[in-house]
Chain A
Amino acid sequence: MSGEKKAPYIVPIGPTHPALKEPVMFTFEMDGEQIREVDFAPGQVHRGIEWMGMRRNPVQIVHLTDRICGICGVSHTLAFSRAVEQVAEIEVPERADYIRTIIAEFERIQSHLLWAGVAAHELGFDSLLYLTWQVREQAMDVIENLTGNRVNYGIVQVGGVRRDIVPEQHKVIEDCLSAYEGVLSKLLDLFLHDRTIAMRCRDVGVLSKDDALKLCTVGPTARASGVNVDLRQDYPYCAYGDLEVRSILPDQYAGETRGDVYDRIVVRLLEVGQSCRIIRQCLSEMPPGEVTAEPKLAKLLAICKKASGEAIGRVEAPRGECFHYVLMAGKEAPHAWKVKASSYSNLMSWIPMLRGEQIADIPIIVASIDPCLSCTDRVAVVKGGLQSILSREDLHRLSVEKTRRLQQ
């Protein structure tokens, strides 16, 4: 550290590194402790789930979609089911929509708490990790009580849900919600008023509103930069149309939006409280009735087989919009199925966030968008050693061309 300027050196982080919860390869061009340029290469954990799905029928695929993500198990299944339901014109009973909403909101609670713990760990604050994960257990217990599983819930199916919520379970849910409302102010205090956390998170990893829009970020990452997007408010599905859902923006708490890591913590923690309110409202307004459109799986399969057409299912997963495209062509298996996990839209925001920051901030910035890489990864085909990189302009041109083709 003699102060002389050396040529930038390269620090590789990944594919496996303690800062990363899933494999991704970062290459940092460093100037001392400062990041000069950054590039990343996902694609280390592609699992070919879409390929598997195109050889199975929709009744089987929901079990695959449960396993796309270990955290948002219900979001992917919900998005896929909603796409198939639209193609096959299955009407989901209203009660099922409410149950789906309740499970989805519990998923958001446990996912955000899990993330908060990881964020604390990345900052070297392990006590907070243990605390948040201990708090999170209660949501996991309720999810187990409602669905029978802690992860890979297996409750959503095409046309409805597998299990009803019986009156005895209302008390379990209510206990959990009141416990959370009690502990949330403590968590907010610990995360947002701790001096060391503020020192490490304020004005770190800033994503401007402009960049957030340009890079098509979704979910809490976009909302923390002041972009007012939330599928639950903009494009209500399930029971959200009947409920009071307004997207949470950081200025509601701090009075200003800076788009930094701190704001992402604010948004996620406030969304835990919001989810509690949504679940409570769902419980009180849940209509009676059936929980599935077609309880007999063979019959359901027959309906799906006959269906043809294409549809998209969109769900606000804890990390942002989860998007499934399904094309059915009158066969048992879907003709095409495309999954876009929320992290797919958010990964690119790493570049403007990381540029100019310090090595020490890499873990927390990388974690701050709550990346879910195995849900996102694509297979990269390299033919004859040729690679091509598409810029934003190229992609825009291609999409315009495709729209023109479709219009003809």
Chain B
Amino acid sequence: MTLTAVVGEIILWTVIVSLFGLTAGLFLLGIDRKIAAHMQARIGPRLRQPFIDIRKLLVKENIIPENAIPWLFNLAPVIALVSSLVILLYIPLGSLHSPLGMYGDLILVMYLLTIPALATVAGGFASGSPYATVGAQREMVTMIGYEFPLAIVVIAIAWRLWAAGVAHPFLLSTIAGNPVWGLVGPLGIVGVVLLLIVLAAVTPAELSRIPFDTQEAETELAGGLLVEYSGRNLALFSLTTAVKTLVLGALIVAVFFPWNLSSFVAMPAGIAQLADLVFFLFKVVLVMSVIVTLVRVGMARFRINQVVTVYWHTFALIGLVGLLLLMADSALAGVL
């Protein structure tokens, strides 16, 4: 293939994956709201409510506060949305072709995940409101809190794959192609479960959901980071949340539940692709409704110092135990 053909294909797939990511992400938000409503004995909005919200925000006035820094204030939501869409290009989405999957690995994804958060922090600081400033500080503290447990998970999984002799252990396609459950013994299974718990605990903070939504905390900071955002800019941030929801769901599925339907049941190639995609979305919905929706309806909001304590003490410890168990498992496998 010539260079232009490669680039052309990447661009084509980028557009397809982005559109898919926006739609699926918004539906995920709708499903989250519907399930949460049912858990709270409410009816809840229609599944397509997030789409309606976005459309409404897009026609609303885009207000820039007087004491904001306009260029940064307007740039932040664009960066947030673009960077979260970029992550999507590296993650296997069921059978969907991941256009940049060959060019970046889990470490890159981990770094990319911080960009939308940093963009909201920049936007928060640029909006010149004390609520947004406090929210931005909290977001940074939260990031410092959850990055460490997240890193433990990434390193532990990749290290175990490397120890099992898999080439390119950090590549997401490798991780998805070699389910870690199959490589480890009973001790390792416990370790992997612990790592799954850690990743599940990091997800609500990445999406600023209860109990880790201190940066937006409606009752405390009136929306915190996003308090001054309205109209088109707020719509971009809402889309960012939608895409990030899909990204994190896809990440957990890729690392911990990568199986495809087509590998169990024989079917024609076209149908297999579709079935795998549907199965992938089903897994994402299932994972997200447990670790985001169920958690957020069942808990109160933490205080910011408690967020840090929870991540650095509890979940870092759980993660380290998981890592140690994986190492022990690998050592035992080497001996036997």
Contact = CB atoms under 8 A, between A and B. Distances in A.
B297 interface: yes
A120 B301 CA distance: 10
Contacts of B138: 33
Interface stretch (A57-65, A162-170, A193-201): A193-201
Nearest to A197: B300
Contacts of B141: 1
Tell me what chain A mostly uses at the interface: helix, strand, loop, or mixed.
helix
Interface stretch (B210-218, B236-244, B251-259): B210-218
Contacts, number: 84
A128 B299 CA distance: 9
B134 interface: yes
B304 interface: yes
Contact of B40 (A124, A130, A197, A358): A130
B140 interface: yes
Interface in B216-254: 217-222
Contact of B297 (A10, A19, A126, A197): A126
B130 A12 contact: yes
Nearest to B130: A11
A363 B219 contact: yes
A41 interface: no
A121 interface: yes
A163 to B, nearest CB: 32
By size class, the interface of chain A is 20 to 34
Interface in A332-370: 358-363
B82 to A, nearest CB: 26
Contacts of B211: 124, 196
A131 B298 CA distance: 12
A127 B221 contact: no
Given A19-B220, A121-B219, A359-B220, A134 B134 contact: no
Given A1-B137, A130-B41, A123 B222 contact: no
A127 B300 CA distance: 9
B34 to A, nearest CB: 15
B39 interface: yes
Interface in A18-47: 18-19, 33
B219 A122 contact: yes
B306 to A, nearest CB: 6
Contact of B305 (A120, A121, A128, A358): A358
Interface in A85-140: 120-128, 130-131, 134
A194 to B, nearest CB: 7
Contacts of B222: 17-19
A9 interface: yes
Given A19-B220, A130-B41, A358 B304 contact: yes
Name which of B297, B298, B299, B302 has the most chain A CB atoms within 10 A of its CB: B299
B226 to A, nearest CB: 13
B300 A360 contact: no
Contacts of B303: 199-200, 358, 360-361
Contacts of A134: 41
B155 to A, nearest CB: 26
A127 B304 contact: no
Interface in B265-312: 297-306
B130 A9 contact: yes
A197 B299 CA distance: 8
Contacts of A361: 303
B263 to A, nearest CB: 39
A313 B303 CA distance: 43
Nearest to B137: A1
B83 to A, nearest CB: 22
A19 B223 CA distance: 11
8 contacts: A18-B222, A19-B219, A33-B305, A124-B213, A124-B299, A196-B299, A197-B300, A360-B217
Given A124-B211, A124-B219, 16 more contacts: A1-B137, A18-B219, A124-B217, A124-B301, A125-B299, A126-B40, A127-B298, A130-B40, A196-B299, A196-B301, A358-B303, A358-B305, A359-B134, A359-B220, A360-B304, A363-B220
Leading 5 A-B pairs by shortest Cβ distance: A124-B301, A125-B300, A196-B300, A123-B300, A360-B303
